[in-house]
Amino acid sequence: KTLIAGSARLPELVLHIGTRSAELNFSMSSDLAALRTAAEDWASLDPNPKTASHVTALLGRADREGEGGGAVAELRVLFGGPRISFGTAGLRGPMRPGPRSMNDLVVVQAAQGIASYIKDAEGGEVSPATRPTVVVGRDHRARGEFGLSSERFARYTKLVFDRAEIDCLLLEGLVATPILAFATRYLGATAGIMVTASHNPKDDNGYKVYWSGGCQIRPPMDREIAKAIDENLRPWTDYGAALAEAEAEGRGLGDGPRTEKIEEAYFLSVRALRTLPEDGGESDLKFAYTSMHGVGYPYAKRSFDEFGIPGPLLAVPSQR
């Protein structure tokens, strides 16, 4: 019989001790106990009430439905495998609860690891005169049922770096990835972080890390940052409360004027590469453009204009 103690489910045993049936039952129930522990621990740290309550509700359903129910199957998807890995491409995965996916807690943990890595590189301490700078940009991705979005991920990232006493510029609004890479070099920043999943499906998100040269990180830096993330999994403060306070005070956390200045500098650099004469004449050439799930169209359109490329840039209205 199945025994219940409080909210914790004890291993299910059958009386045929020594048989294959008993071994399988014990293994399955031990798996469920591990899933429950992992899910409860994760939900207790999650700053997002929607994803935390979703996991709590799954645990309740798992108790009622038993091992063959849909709740247990979902718990296995969310918690029954290795943690989302950090590599040269940063993080990338579906937006949903759990340590295997992109969500508020995973982003906080990643930002804490990167902040710790930067501070260690600076000797463990930073002073107001020598503070490192990190630039953060984001796209428009969101998954409403879980309250997850690139905007929230970017805001949490800024809160983490503020907490670590590292200067952090959050670019205002939506920006294309090349703007973030350019800003990292333009400002002489230590690092840049872009919240986007490029061409991935719309319910995915990602966390790309650029270093001071404006390029994505390379080995062995990715492994060193991954190690720092694993050493900083517990949130340093109540980031959910900090974000709620900022939103209640109307603080968007982004810097509009500095973002505009960086974008203008970017397009000036594009214009400086121009090889066509000012009066390039007309052309029958037509260019089709898709940003897929990205936000690049306005930047591509202006880059075409600045570079003097004749001919229309065509895009599906919904992809602009």
From the candidates 116, 198, 269, 291, which is the catalytic residue?
198
Crossing angle of helices 256-272 and 297-307, rounded to 10°: 40
d(CA 33, CA 5): 12
- Each residue's pLDDT tens digit, 232-257: 999 999 999 999 999 988 887 999 99
Q: What is the DSSP letter of 318?
A: G
Which value, to the nearest 10 degrees, does the dihedral of the CA atoms of residues 28, 67, 75, 64 take? -140
pLDDT in tens, 275-302: 777 766 666 778 898 887 788 899 999 9
* E strands, the chain, in order: 4-5, 8-9, 91-94, 133-138, 142-143, 148-149, 167-170, 191-195, 204-211, 287-288, 313-314
Inter-residue contact 123 to 157 (CB < 8 Å): no
Token reading at 78: 């969310």
Average pLDDT, the chain: 87
Specify the range with the lowest mean pLDDT, choosing from 27-31, 77-81, 110-114: 27-31
Helix axes 150-163, 239-248, angle to 10 degrees: 110
Cα separation, 194 vs 94, in Å, equals: 16
CA distance linking residue 262 with residue 176, whole number of Å: 12
Q: Return d(Cα 151, Cα 246) in angstroms, integer.
A: 14
DSSP-derived 3-state class of residue 138:
strand
With H, G, I as helix, E, B as strand and everything else as coil, classify residue 52: helix
- pLDDT surpasses 80 at 76: yes
pLDDT for 125-178, tens place per residue? 777 777 899 999 999 999 999 999 999 999 999 999 999 999 999 999 999 999
Token pair for residue 259? 């973002």
Q: Which residues contact 118 (CB under 8 A, 6 or more apart)?
A: 132, 134, 164, 166, 190, 191
The predicted structure's pLDDT at residue 293: 74
58: Cβ contacts below 8 Å, ≥ 6 apart: 39, 71, 74, 75, 78
Residues pairing with 134 in the sheet = 168, 191
Active-site residue flag, 101: no
